[in-house]
Amino acid sequence: MARPGPGRRPRYHQLMHARLNQPLPAGLRDRLSIAPEVADALAAGRPVVALESTLISHGLPYPQSVEVAGAAELAVRESGSVPATVAIQGGRILVGLSEEQLVRLATTGGVMKASRPSLSVALSGGGWAATTVSATMIAAAAAGIRVFATGGIGGVHRGALGGFGHSAPATLDISSDLDELARTAVAVVCAGPKAILDVPATLEYLETRGVPVVAVGTSQMPGFWSRDSGIPAAASVADVAEAATLVATHFALGLGSGVLLCVPVPEADAYPPADTRAAVERAIADSQAAGIEGPAVTPWLLARMAEITEGRSVRANVALIINNARFAGQLAIALART
């Protein structure tokens, strides 16, 4: 890092490299294939936003999956940042996909879902894999990308702590997204934890693990498909400028953890909270009856929600992903100016 001159503050990206990017294992960096446009932007200190790919391959039905992949990249571009969608192929972590690769990912059957625990499985398997929030955060941090947009993070599943009926044992199904937020210094933009989860337990877990959770433009925690989860937010910022100040402050402390920014779904496409609750109850009961477990739970519930809501959950999901990508693009710009 070049020393800042007298009276000059170090640039944001210099701070990032000097203080935060505790060098990730070289083995991880060696696995990255960074697209030329993304590599150029990073080298020049221009704003870059990472986007994940599990929501494309596992989170949405075709053809909305392909449309949202392109639309999220466009939203990042329109804000002035460079998008870098992350996926895995041929033993490499791709940071920045071509249009052809995006379509391939969305249309290839049997694409694996790669998280921190399955990253090595996906890389050694050699085929295509989509990255979840945890795996995308790992890739972003290794590449030097500090801002990342998704739809809704994974979290503590209902029944993870027991209590489905009286005799049900705890499943301990807690997404690796939560621990990744606690250990990787990336700002993650989402529309709240997915409403299929035990949202209060998810927020408690993030608090325990030291992750700031911040609602944007509202005092309530956004509820993914609906604007309000019914839970007051632990912290709020008014807009992207305030969000950037908070994120820069958090990163400059060097605590090593990420920040979760929760932006409510746009009003016009939101699904009403009461309808969301009813549909979620039904979808979860159906998943239990069908015996769905493990990494299959989230994709199964999202698909079931699409059926139960006759596509209205998909409409909200698409809108919130694009909205989050736009906000993340603006956040990356604002951070570059701090």
Q: Does 173 bind Mn ion (CB under 5 A)?
A: yes
- Kindly tell me which of 155 and 329 has the beta carbon lying closer to Mn ion: 155
180 binds Mn ion (CB under 5 A): no
Angle at 70 between CA 55 and CA 52, to 5 degrees: 30
Does the annotation count 194 as an active-site position? yes
Task: Between 79 and 298, name the residue whose CB sits nearer to ligand PSU.
Answer: 298
CB of 73 to ligand PSU, least distance (A): 16
Tokens of 26: 């070289």
Q: What one-letter code names the amino acid at 102?
A: L
Of 131, 152, 80, residue with least CA distance to 305: 152
The site map against ligand PSU for 287-316 (x = CB under 6 A) is --------x--x---x--------------
**Which of 109, 126, 143, 123 lies closest to 21 in space, CA to CA?**
143
Of residues 198, 232, 200, 227, the one with CA closest to residue 301: 198
How many residues does this entry show for the chain? Answer: 338
User: For the chain, what percentages of helix, strand and coil (3-state, to nearest 5) are there?
Assistant: 50, 15, 35
The listed partner (Mn ion, ligand PSU, none) that binds 250, CB under 5 to 8 Å by sort, is: none
Beta strands in 217-258 (DSSP E): 235-237
Using the rule CB under 6 A, is 151 a contact of ligand PSU? yes
# residues near ligand PSU by CB under 6 A? 18
Kindly report the CA angle at 60 between 54 and 64, in degrees rounded to 5?
120
Q: Which is nearer to ligand PSU, 160 or 333 (CB)?
A: 160
Q: Please identify, among the stretches 150-158, 163-171, 206-214, 304-312, the one whose residues bind ligand PSU according to the rule CB under 6 A.
A: 150-158
Name the residue type at position 141.
A
Count of CB atoms situated within 10 Å of the CB of 209: 14
CA angle 106, 261, 92 (to 5 degrees): 35
Taking the C-alpha atoms of residue 276 and residue 274, their distance in angstroms, rounded to an integer, is 5
Contacts with ligand PSU, 200-239, as mask; x by CB under 6 A: ----------------------------------------
Bin 254: left if φ > 0, else alpha if -120 < ψ < 50, else beta: left
Decide if residue 180 touches ligand PSU (CB under 6 A).
Answer: no
The answer to whether residue 175 forms part of the interface with ligand PSU (CB under 6 A) is: yes
Asked about 281 being catalytic, the answer comes back as: no
Catalytic residue among 52, 73, 113, 180: 52
Torsion 80-146-217-337 (CA) sign: negative
Closest contact distance (angstroms) between CB of 13 and ligand PSU is 26
Q: Is 193 helix (H, G, I), strand (E, B) or coil?
A: strand
The answer to the question of residue 65 lying near ligand PSU (CB under 6 A) is no
CA distances from 56 to 223, 277, 324 (A): 20, 24, 15
In the list Mn ion, ligand PSU, none, the entry touching 317 (Cβ below 5 to 8 angstroms by class) is: ligand PSU
Choose the stretch contacting ligand PSU; rule: CB under 6 A; options: 34-42, 89-97, 147-155, 201-209.
147-155
Considering CB distances under 5 to 8 angstroms, the limit depending on partner class, which of Mn ion, ligand PSU, none binds residue 55?
A: ligand PSU
Q: Which does 58 bind (CB under 5 to 8 A by kind): Mn ion, ligand PSU, none?
A: ligand PSU
Residue closer to Mn ion by CB (options 48, 55) is 55
Interacting partner of 151 out of ligand PSU, Mn ion, none (Cβ under 5 to 8 A depending on kind): ligand PSU
Query: What is the number of the residue whose Cβ is closest to ligand PSU?
Result: 151
Contact assessment for residue 192 and residue 303, using Cβ atoms and an 8 Å cutoff: no
Query: Coil, strand or helix: which one is 89?
Result: strand
Provide the binding-site residues for ligand PSU, judged by CB under 6 A. 52, 54-55, 58-59, 132-133, 150-152, 154, 175, 177, 295, 298, 302, 317, 321
Active site residues: 52, 194
